[in-house]
Amino acid sequence: MALSNVVETPASGFNFENVCRNVALEGLLQGGQTKAPKPMKTGTTIAGVLCKNGVVLGADTRATSGEVVADKMCAKIHYISPNIYCCGAGTAADTEKTTDLLSSNLTIFSMNSGRNPRVVMAVNILQDMLFRYRGQIGASLILGGVDCTGNHLYKVGPYGSIDNVPYLAMGSGDLAALGILEDRFKANMEMEEAKELVRDAIHSGIMSDLGSGNNIDICVITKQGVDYIRPYQESEYKDKRQRRYKYRPGTTSILTEKIVPLELEVVQETVQRMDTA
Task: Give the shortest CB-122-to-other proteins separation in angstroms.
Answer: 13
Residues with a known catalytic role: 44
With CB under 8 A as the contact rule, the residue among 16, 237, 245, 247 that binds other proteins is 16
Cα radius of gyration (the chain):
27
Contact stretch for other proteins (CB under 8 A) within 126-134, 141-149, 157-165, 266-274: 126-134
- For residue 142, the cross-strand partners are 87, 155
Query: How far, in Å, CA of 173 to CA of 178, rounded?
Result: 9
Contact stretch for other proteins (CB under 8 A) within 6-14, 30-38, 53-61, 253-261: 6-14
Largest separation between any pair of C-alpha atoms in the chain: 90
- The reply to whether 132 sits near other proteins by the rule CB under 8 A is yes
With CB under 8 A as the contact rule, the residue among 46, 57, 61, 109 that binds other proteins is 109
The distance in angstroms from the start CA to the end CA of the chain is 44
In degrees, to the nearest 5, what angle opens at C-alpha 10 toward C-alphas 7 and 11? 130
**Computed from CA positions of residues 84, 85, 91, 92, in that sequence, does the dihedral angle turn out positive or negative?**
positive
Contact stretch for other proteins (CB under 8 A) within 9-17, 33-41, 43-51, 195-203: 9-17
Q: Which helix (H) or strand (E) holds 205?
A: helix 191-208
With CB under 8 A as the contact rule, the residue among 14, 237, 245, 247 that binds other proteins is 14
Task: Give the shortest CB-127-to-other proteins separation in angstroms.
Answer: 14
Size of the site for other proteins (CB under 8 A): 34
Residues 68/62, Cβ–Cβ less than 8 Å: no
95: left (phi over 0), alpha (psi -120 to 50) or beta: alpha
With CB under 8 A as the contact rule, the residue among 35, 52, 115, 134 that binds other proteins is 134
With CB under 8 A as the contact rule, the residue among 64, 136, 172, 266 that binds other proteins is 136
Which stretches of the chain bind other proteins, using CB under 8 A?
Answer: 1-21, 23-24, 101, 104-105, 108-109, 112, 129, 132-134, 136
